[in-house]
Structure 1
Amino acid sequence: MVVFGTRPDAVKMAPVVQALRASPAEFTPVVAVTAQHREMLDQVLRLFAITPDHDLGIMTEKQSLADITVRTLEGLSALLPRVAPDLVLVQGDAAPSFVGSLAAFYQRIPVGHVEAGLRTDDKYQPFPEEMYRRMTTVLADMHFAPTRQARRNLMAEGVPAARILVTGNTVIDALLDVARRDRPPADPALAAVLNRPGRRVLLLTSHRRENWGEPQRRIFLAVGDLLDRFPDLDLVFPVHPNPVVAGPAHEILGRHPRAYLCEPVDYAANVACMKAATLILTDSGGIQEEAPALGRPVLVLRETTERPEGIAAGTAHLVGTDRARIVEAGARLLTDPAAYARMSRARNPYGDGRAAGRIVDGLRYFFGVTRNPPAEFVVRDTAAPARAARKVLAAARARGRPSRRRSPP
């Protein structure tokens, strides 16, 4: 049984579901969604042609973390005895990962954890994800780590090496799949912003709980400063519907003539935004992995990150939420071609587009179908993911819809 509930986790699980379906003689994937993010989840399910076998539909208005936990546990506790899966596969660090693992543990069902081993070593950064993934680790039997650093984190916590497989991150599988389709955004106004000649696009995503309040206001003010400083810069900001985010976003940026604030976009449109962007500012986890695969520099709007590989490789830069620091880092990339090139051409350590296949191979090994453990993901050719992305963009240009990214002057 494959369990997930949020849009980011659906994106990352979609390639795994597809890979399992490609081997019907060996696997019968049963998809159970909690749907704590109803509309955003459904967008991804449609994009990847996944119809859930079971939909818990737990989303309610003004739901708390406790509400999500209780309803997810109740729903899965009723479902698991009926389905009786041989293994429960969970993803990442949202509530369905931990609660799905706990529900499986209560039924003595093994657990496989995709994207295992990410850590900040601060239980409140990010909140509540750091503790969700730590508790999932304790309950999991098979750990699919995206990177070698993630494996080291798991081994430091006592997880046996034999239970860890380094696979790369499945988000790169999903990203390259969708990027090849080259679908323009359904919103004509957004498509127009992304394709204005002679313009540069700044893509902003910001919604994390630890940034709510004053940190988020500083972020929005810094973005306004960058827009004022660079007249050729246009902002695209898909705003999270939570009033805690949407209120200050529209107050600070909503009236700027070159700021396009819109509702959250579907994943295909999000990929189009990343492809068109010159620079990306984000507090998201997934975009830290995705943008480097497309050769886009990322400024991480957090004080710490569970994805240090990108920082070390130079694909991302941790700037926090200080207004002056954000402006300084953004301005440098928008004015210094050498600094921009160093980040945009740096290696992407997160994957090569074949993570899902490794996970399926790992499951074969776990169940004794194969005798030898599968080969792991290794960043041997550090340019491979970026080269794959360049092929995607070249194909898009050949079809007549060129990427609008423009490097610094």
Structure 2
Amino acid sequence: MRSGAEQPGAGYAGSDVQRWFPEPAKRASRTPFERDRARVVHSSALRRLGAKTQVLGPGSDDFVRTRLTHSLEVAQVGRELGKSLGCDPDVVDTACLSHDLGHPPFGHNGENALDLVAMSIGGFEGNAQTLRILTRLEPKTFTPDGVPCGLNLTRASLDAATKYPWFSGEGPVGSDGLVTAKFGVYHEDAEVFRWLREGAPAGVRCLEAQVMDLADDISYSVHDVEDAIVLGRVDPGMLTTAAAHEKVVTQVRDWYDPDISDDELGDALDRLVALPYWVTAHDGSRRALAALKDMTSQLIGRFCDAAAAATRARYGEGRLVRYDASIVVPTEILAEIAVLKGIAAAYVMAPREDEPVYHRQRVVLAELVEVLAERAEAALEPMFLADWREAADDAARLRVVIDQVASLTDLSAYAWHARLCGPRDPA
């Protein structure tokens, strides 16, 4: 499929604004990339992120971030960083707003649960599910013969939203000699994936996707620590102790294992807590909240400015888009971001791993998949039921059931489970 006469922005080629299914521009006053962003903003998939877990469940506290608020923050960080390098800000914005669309209920816990029940059909991966939503599941565009095209975004925007441009088992090999478990496309979606990757180097992310990925890392590393401090899970003043130092570095190594030495991670923690804007105490007052917000803003600026400066030092001052460059992040900054992730993991996420609610969430999703597979005709929503009826075999039908369950929010997953499997206490 090829599209018509939409004009690209500066630095982008005509192929970058092609759409999987050709459609005419509706308003000459908008660029094709502005249209992409608008489609994501108005999508039902984005709205559902407002009731999906980021770190803590949406109903656990009025302050905590959801997947939606996180995505909005990533978009703001990514848009500014990308613009400083010459990327079209709407391409980056679209990628950032889209990056978590494929996440199921209950955050990464839910992702792991669905991966287990989908092992026979290639597993479940939130990033691959995102591509599936953008190109197939989100109701917006159809071909004349009734084939869904999802939001039918431009090639540049779809490529920018593809954080892991490879199939399962085909990703890069890490320092441990193992192929990364992350992937960005299911084999069922190979055709549109190969289309959007036309002309791209195999396994290489475009610059806009790299900006999105870094903006995601920066946002959740900083904001998860902010949430943890406000909720009393982390005492920022205690992070200078030897015990905290060891706990955080060990957690980074256990969960993330970056290609950074323990000494470099320790030095990064020392640098962070020595910053003049690092908060050392938090009492919940308005002044304390303002100081904490200043810290998060300063950290985001520190990380973005360092990456932009290092990238410019390597590639010069011209406009950088698509495959003109790869973003450069100094090792010291990577270590600081990793340490912030380690703080949130050590004091918030890891302690929750063994809580009964986490086990309960996995059971809810597994049982939902089982009952929906058995009672699809009576239980699936109409659009998923149509997909199920058109599926060619049992594997394709199971993928449709997974699509349905992944689309649910935290609260609707519990409600569906109570209705279909019998009432249980979600706590």
Report the TM-score, using the length of structure 2 for normalisation.
0.29
Report the TM-score, using the length of structure 1 for normalisation.
0.29
Structure number having the greater helix percentage? 2
Q: With CA pairs under 8 Å and 6+ residues apart, which has the higher RCO, 1 or 2?
A: 2
Larger radius of gyration: 2
